[in-house]
Structure 1
Amino acid sequence: MKGVKFISILGVLAMTAVLFYGFTQGNFFEDGGKLMQNPWGIVSLVDLYTGFILFAVWIFYRETGILSKIFWVLILMILGFFTASLYMLLAAYQSKGDLMRFVFGAKKDQVLSKYRP
Structure 2
Amino acid sequence: MIWFLRVFFTIVLVSMLCVTSWASMQCPLWDIPGSVGGHPWFIATLFDTYWAFLTFYCWVAYKERSWLGRIGWLLGTLLLGNIAMAVYMLIQLFRVPANARMEDLLLRRP
Question: For this structure pair, what is the TM-score category when the shorter chain's length is used for normalisation?
Answer: 0.7 to 0.9
Aligned partner letter, 2:30: F
Is the Cα–Cα contact under 8 Å of residues 95 and 105 in structure 1 kept in the other structure? no
- Counterpart Cα distance in 1 of 2:66 and 2:23: 33
Q: Verify the 8 A CA contact 1:35 1:42 in the aligned structure 2.
A: no
Q: Report which structure shows greater RCO (CA 8 Å, sep ≥6).
A: 2
The equivalent of 1:93 in structure 2 is 94
Residues 6-57 of structure 1: CA deviation (Å, up to 9, x unaligned): 1100001011101212222222112174432111101110110011100110
Secondary structure in structure 1 of the residue aligned to 2:107 = helix
Q: Is the 8 A contact 1:35 1:41 kept in 2?
A: yes
Q: TM-score, normalised by structure 2?
A: 0.88
The answer as to whether partners of 1:91 and 1:105 remain within 8 angstroms in 2 is: no
2:51 equivalent in structure 1: 50
Question: Shift of the alpha carbon at 1:87?
Answer: 0.8
5+ residue gaps, structure 1, are 110-117
Q: Is the 8 A contact 1:52 1:76 kept in 2?
A: yes
TM-score, L = length of structure 1: 0.83
Residue 107 of structure 2 aligns with which residue?
Answer: 104
Q: Pairwise CA RMSD of aligned residues?
A: 1.5
- Give the count of matched residue pairs: 107
Identity %: 22
Greater percentage in helix: 1
Which stretch of the first structure deviates more once superposed, 15-24 or 59-68? 15-24
CA 1:32–1:50: 2 relative to 1, 3 Å: farther
CA distance in 1, matches of 2:33, 2:79: 14
Q: What runs of 5+ residues in structure 2 fail to find an aligned partner?
A: none
